[in-house]
Structure 1
Amino acid sequence: MTVRPLIGVSTYLESGVRWGVWELPAALLPAGYPRLVQQAGGLACMLPPDAPERAAAAVARIDGLVIAGGPDVDPARYGAARSPRTGPPAPERDAWELALIGAALATGTPLLGICRGMQLLNVALGGTLVQHLDGHAEAVGVFGGHPVNPVPGTRYAALAPEKTTVPTYHHQAVDRLGEGLLPSAHAADGTVEAIELPWDGGWALGVQWHPEAGEDTRVMRALVAAASR
């Protein structure tokens, strides 16, 4: 019997979520994330915000880690003043997910950051963010799409060597790259659309777009394959 690797996915933490007769705080995740993990051959489990000191224990029990999209990273995390166009902070998520990223990097656990997750990976390694850019979200609550160009010789280019149109919805992006990270895809306007550690630096990849909202499973399949090893 094939053993599927266990892939932990970080979650939202929201108040006032309503389902049925209930309206309660909820740790939740759009279904596209676990479905993508499953389609790629993994078993998905949710990692809701917890005390940061428990992150290492959580990462020790999984084979791969996905940091999901979500709210803007608090600019204080990268030493910047808050822009008027930056969204409300999510302190529990910032603390927990930065701790998860740190634990994954320390142990060599394969890591995929999606949108906010890519931005947090950059911040975790000392990078900064552009707090607002236009043209990467078509309408509120609607995924758009634009092409990204891989950087030859990178891990991402090995997965997707051609120009690819990806599902996109973001208004923040990488500014100064974190220590050791390489850009591995760009949008037509020059925005960094993917980042990664070099081949000898462990398996860590961040993508600015939302693969869980599309049909291309290559990025998640690569994470699951790395987690299987």
Structure 2
Amino acid sequence: MRPLIGIPCHPAYRHGSQRPIYGNNRAYVHAIEDAGGVPVLIPLVHDLSTLEALLAHLDGLLLPGGQDIQPRRYGEEPHPRLGDTDPSLDEFELTLAHWALQEEKPILGICRGMQLLNVALGGTLYQDLESQYAGSLRHMNQDRPRSQVVHRVLIEPGTCLAAITGEREFWANSIHHQAVKEPGKGVQVAARAEDGVVEAIEVPTRRFVVALQCHPEEIYRQVPACARVFSAFIQACGLREAVPQPQRALSLPVGAA
């Protein structure tokens, strides 16, 4: 049976009518599908406890990209160059991240998803690389196609990511202005850009908790390392326990509004 992979939606507005909708980029859906999983979009519900009925059926969680995370979630005041934030989205995705960690479900974080995972584990972020990280590369490239690779990602030897990809480095796209600053509890840096900015993290004590700062869903067809990450994620999600364990009650993250 193909594993079910939860992908949180974000609030948006339909072009033209401006009707409020929930959704996410198609690239996440097709990357999971092509790797052998079944993508399940999770709407941002008003009562997060109602998610329990759905989460009990999921085999893994993909934390997607998106807007900035509120700095109060990691104990900082907003920087002047902080982008748009959404407290409800932060609460929603942090709740899902804590659930997956609590239930030992495999997690794949992408861009904001990597940052959110680090915050969920007690880490901090650079709110704006250009102004806070001296000598940084140009990491925000919204003016270029999302599938355009722009810099190398250097993988740390001996990491789970190194074992998954079988490579020392790969070329990646880059569409972010924030990044991991202080890693959270149990978090290990798995890769960096040539300027030292963190490009991947993992929690090696878990079955599969890996996150990339780039957008592998946009480049997995042209970058084998990214395709292998999706394949390894789906494989980990397919390793169900022989005797299902009872799901514990869904708990909100500390500091949730």
Name the TM-score class by shorter chain: over 0.9
Tell me the alpha carbon deviations over residues 135-184 of structure 1, each in whole angstroms, 9 at most, x when there is no partner: 11234464352110111111111122231001220000000110010000
What percentage of residue pairs aligned between the two structures are identical? 39
Asked if structure 2 preserves the Cα contact closer than 8 Å seen for 1:55 and 1:99, the reply is: no
The answer to which of 149-158 and 215-224 deviates more is 215-224
5+ long unaligned stretches in structure 2: 131-137, 240-257
Structure 1: distance between partners of 2:49 and 2:120 = 16
SS of 2:109 mapped into structure 1: strand
What is the letter of the counterpart of residue 168 of structure 1?
S
The answer to which of 70-79 and 87-96 deviates more is 87-96
The root-mean-square deviation of aligned C-alpha atoms, in Å, is: 1.5
Residue 18 (str. 1) matches residue 15 (str. 2): yes
What is the letter of the counterpart of residue 99 of structure 1?
T
- Give the Å deviation of 1:57: 4.2
Alignment correspondent of 2:105: 109
What is the letter of the counterpart of residue 218 of structure 2?
A
Alignment correspondent of 2:65: 69
Asked if structure 2 preserves the Cα contact closer than 8 Å seen for 1:166 and 1:209, the reply is: yes
Equivalent residue in structure 2 for 1:5, among 3, 6, 19: 3
What is the TM-score when the length of structure 2 is the normalising length?
0.83
Tell me the alpha carbon deviations over residues 40-94 of structure 1, each in whole angstroms, 9 at most, x when there is no partner: 0111110121233345543321011101100000111111110111112111210
Alignment correspondent of 1:178: 184
Asked if structure 1 preserves the Cα contact closer than 8 Å seen for 2:157 and 2:168, the reply is: no
SS of 1:18 mapped into structure 2: coil
Asked if structure 1 preserves the Cα contact closer than 8 Å seen for 2:107 and 2:209, the reply is: yes
The answer to which of 200-209 and 121-130 deviates more is 200-209
Residue 208 (str. 1) matches residue 218 (str. 2): no
- Give the Å deviation of 1:217: 1.4
- Give the Å deviation of 1:201: 2.6
Residue 129 (str. 1) matches residue 125 (str. 2): yes
Structure ranking higher in strand proportion? 1
Structure 2: distance between partners of 1:183 and 1:70 = 21
Alignment correspondent of 2:38: 43
1:141–1:86 Cα change, 3 Å = farther
Alignment correspondent of 1:119: 115
Equivalent residue in structure 2 for 1:224, among 219, 234, 254: 234
Structure 1: distance between partners of 2:34 and 2:153 = 23
Alignment correspondent of 2:29: 34
5+ long unaligned stretches in structure 1: none
Equivalent residues, number: 223
Alignment correspondent of 1:169: 175
